[in-house]
Amino acid sequence: MEMNQQLRVEIQREVASALAEDIGTGDLTAQLIPETASATGRVITRQDAIVCGTAWFDTVFQMLEPESSVVWHVKDGERVAPGQRLCDIFASARCLLTAERTALNFLQFLSGTATTTARFVAAVAGTRARIVDTRKTLPGLRLAQKYAVGVGGGQNHRIGLYDGVLIKENHIIAAGGVKKALQRAAKIAPSNAFIEIEVESLAELGEALEAGAKMILLDNMSIEEMSEAVKVTSGRALLEASGGVNLERVREIAETGVDRISVGGLTKDVRAIDLSLRHIEE
């Protein structure tokens, strides 16, 4: 996935915040090491994974010690196997010791998001369905996790409340009905923002289609209801399945013919990849 300027700026912010959180007024334990001592480190993976987060890892070391260097043997998006070497680090001993936890945190968690996404993408391979993320992200790391979803082969839903309209039940009630909500959304939404409306039944689907909806979220529908929704819609709108999606049933959902499947677990239920940073004797 291409890294844009907005994300590059965000990486600087995220890393600075993470280092400040960890180091505070200074790394007390690292002061045990002579200031002039140099060190070499090596990161290996202990499990199968999709690598993601190399830019965050690099930035941690660059912020602490611009003279340090990280030599990568893999890149974001590559699949790695247990025991595989990911990178070598050359820095002062103090820098390596201070940076390692923060650097690994980013690499482990973003690789976890990318790896989980890749599993969902593989599960629906051969269907028309695309795996998309949600706003259920770790606070302060939304763009990072959205990037990781892309690295894993998924697609991004809206980034936040500002770049897309998702009309849910309470919005519909407050606006005075499906038709009025869609009409109002068409007036206020920027030209580059999508408009999507949530429905919970086939009757509501029919109402949304009649009102001209072009993107419809099928919320917590059964497999039978989703299959019927695809038939009823007949290509008039993009259909997204949501609610209760897991690896065990995502293939069955995809085979109903929906266009997209949103999975909150890609970014909400993050399990870090098991990585190890080993210090190598000079």
101, 128, 180, 249: the active-site residue: 101
Do residues 271 and 108 lie in contact, with contact meaning Cβ atoms separated by under 8 Å? no
Amino acid at 84: Q
135, 142, 168, 251: the active-site residue: 168
136, 142, 179, 251: the active-site residue: 136
Instruction: Enter the tokens of residue 15.
Output: 């890393």
Do residues 241 and 260 lie in contact, with contact meaning Cβ atoms separated by under 8 Å? yes
Burial class (CB in 10 A: 0-12, 13-18, 19+), 9: exposed
Whether 198 is catalytic: yes
Whether 255 is catalytic: no
Distance CA 176, CA 256 (A): 31
For the chain, the residue count is 282
Whether 219 is catalytic: yes
Whether 231 is catalytic: no
- At residue 85, the 3 state secondary structure works out as strand
100, 198, 204, 259: the active-site residue: 198
78, 219, 228, 255: the active-site residue: 219
Residues annotated as part of the active site: 101, 136, 168, 198, 219
